[in-house]
């Protein structure tokens, strides 16, 4: 009988042995920077999840401004829980539109570890708080949130459940 970590080990082994194109495609679903995905795919195999996440962090910190723009362009703004009232959907769409108008890219925030019922409040509070940021400061925050999203998505990918996004973002 497999132990509690077997699915992640199996998922990591599948990732490590996937053809380069398939590995890059899986990685692009975690972060939309082609350079980031190529770099992580090229450094396989990873001995464990921690090594993969450390490599992902390093690649994230090394994103050029153009790489970051590419990755942010691939993001979709996170939405409220499907059962949230219609007014919440409307309010969040308006907040996202204001953010995108000000900063030129989708609002990104990692909601991993939060209950889905808390997502809406975190989204609205995050947008409200970050709307006051200067462009450069917000870009740095967005880059860090993107790194956190990529980590959560990678962990989920190798867990054997790549079909959903654990970080609260819509892809």
Q: What is the tens place of the pLDDT at every residue in 104-152?
A: 999 999 999 888 888 898 999 999 999 999 999 999 999 999 999 999 9
Tell me what pLDDT residue 8 has.
55
Tell me what pLDDT residue 159 has: 87
- Examine the domain organization and report whether 84 and 138 are in the same domain: yes
| Closest listed residue to residue 120, CA positions, set 153, 152, 148, 78 | 78
Q: Answer whether residue 164 is part of any domain.
A: no
164: pLDDT strictly greater than 50: no
Verify that 35 and 93 share a domain, yes or no: no
Which residue would you say has higher pLDDT here, 165 or 138?
138
| Per-residue model confidence (pLDDT) at position 81 | 77
- Specify the higher pLDDT residue, 170 or 126: 126
Residue 28 is part of which domain span? Answer: 6-71
- Given phi > 0 = left and psi -120 to 50 = alpha, else beta, which region is 83? alpha
Q: What are the DSSP calls for 125-151, one per residue?
A: HHHHHHTTS-HHHHHHHHHHHHHHHHH
CA 120 to chain centre: 17
Pick the closest to residue 79 from 171, 169, 149 (CA basis): 169
Q: Give the CATH number of the domain where residue 93 resides.
A: 1.10.3330.10
| pLDDT score of 16 more than 90 | yes
Once rounded to an integer, what is the mean pLDDT over residues 2-31? 82
Please tell me the predicted confidence (pLDDT) of residue 171: 35
Rg (CA), the chain: 17
Please tell me the distance from the alpha carbon of residue 59 to that of residue 116, in angstroms, as a whole number: 29
With cut-offs at 50, 70 and 90, classify the pLDDT of residue 161: low
pLDDT tens digit sequence for 20-68: 999 999 999 999 999 999 999 999 999 999 999 999 999 999 999 999 9
Please tell me whether residues 48 and 110 are part of one structural domain: no
Same domain, yes or no: 66 and 20: yes
């Amino acid at each position: 009988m497999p132990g509690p970590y077997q699915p992640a080990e199996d998922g990591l082994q599948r990732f490590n042995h996937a053809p380069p194109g398939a590995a890059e495609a899986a990685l692009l679903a975690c972060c939309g920077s082609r350079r980031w995905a190529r770099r992580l795919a090229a450094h396989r195999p990873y001995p464990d999840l921690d090594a993969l996440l450390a490599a992902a962090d390093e690649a994230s910190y090394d994103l050029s401004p153009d790489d970051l723009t590419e990755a942010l362009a691939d993001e979709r703004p996170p939405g409220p829980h499907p059962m949230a009232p219609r007014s919440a959907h409307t309010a969040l769409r308006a907040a996202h539109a204001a953010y995108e108008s000000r900063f030129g890219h989708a609002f990104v925030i990692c909601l991993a570890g939060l209950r889905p019922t808390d997502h809406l409040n975190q989204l609205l509070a995050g947008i409200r708080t970050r709307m006051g940021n200067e462009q450069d400061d917000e870009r740095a925050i967005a880059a860090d949130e993107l790194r956190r999203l990529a980590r959560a998505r990678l962990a989920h990918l190798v867990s054997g459940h790549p079909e959903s996004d654990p970080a609260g973002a819509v892809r």
